[in-house]
Homo-oligomer: A and B are copies of this chain.
C-alpha cells in the first residue's frame, strides 16, 4: 500500500500540484528524462493513489460564492451520534469540508454561500440536525495564498522523511 517515492517523483508531484496544463515536454526537459519515462511515473503515481485525481479548480467568485464560513459544531451526546451528525453535515447545501476534531468542539464545517439568506438557511440546516447542541460561525474576510499545494509548503526535512 505504501509507495516509496524518490526525488524525481517529488519533483513531478510538485509540478503537477501546481498545474497539469504544462506538457510532458517541459517536465522531461526539466527533469532530464524521456517523455515516456515521465508518463510511466505519472501513471504509477495515479495507480498507487498518490495522485488521487486530476481535477479543475473553479473560482468560487465565478459561481457567486462570495461568503466563506467557518462553523464550529458541538454535539450533545458525543458517544453515539457523532458519526451520524458528521455524515449529515456533509450533505448540507453549501458545505464543502467537514472535519471531526479533537477537543471541546466536535466538528469544524467550512462552507461557501452566495448571500445572507443562504447563510441563514445553512446554519438552520446545521442546527436542525438531531444531536447538534451548539454552533458558532465566523466569516472569512480574505483568503491568503500560500503559493503551491502540499509539497510546495513542505520543508526540506519533511520531504527527506518521505524520500528516505
- Which A residues contact B (CB, under 8 angstroms)? 2-3, 5, 13, 16-21, 48-60, 62-65, 68, 70, 86-87, 89-90, 93-103, 105, 108, 111-114, 118, 138-147, 149-151, 153-155, 157-158, 161-162
Tell me if A158 and B118 are in contact (CB < 8 A).
Answer: yes
How many copies of the shown chain assemble into the complex? 2
Would you call B146 and A98 a contact (CB within 8 A)? yes
Whether the Cβ atoms of B50 and A62 lie closer than 8 Å is yes
What chain B residues lie within 8 Å of A54 (beta carbons)? 19-21, 54-57
Contact A90 to B57, CB < 8 A, known contacts A62-B3, A161-B114, A162-B64: no
Complex: A99 Cα to B69 Cα, angstroms = 10
Q: Is the CB of B161 within 8 A of A101?
A: no
CB <8 Å contact, A100 and B154: no
Verify A138–B58 contact, CB threshold 8 A. Answer: no
Query: Given the complex, which residues of B lie within 8 Å of A151, measured CB to CB?
Result: 58, 63
A43 to chain B, nearest CB (A): 11
Query: Please, which residues of chain B bring their CB within 8 A of the CB of A57?
Result: 17, 51-55
Q: A16-B56, A58-B150, A68-B99 are in contact. List 10 more A-B contacts (CB 8 A).
A: A20-B20, A50-B59, A51-B56, A51-B57, A51-B58, A54-B55, A65-B154, A93-B153, A93-B154, A98-B143
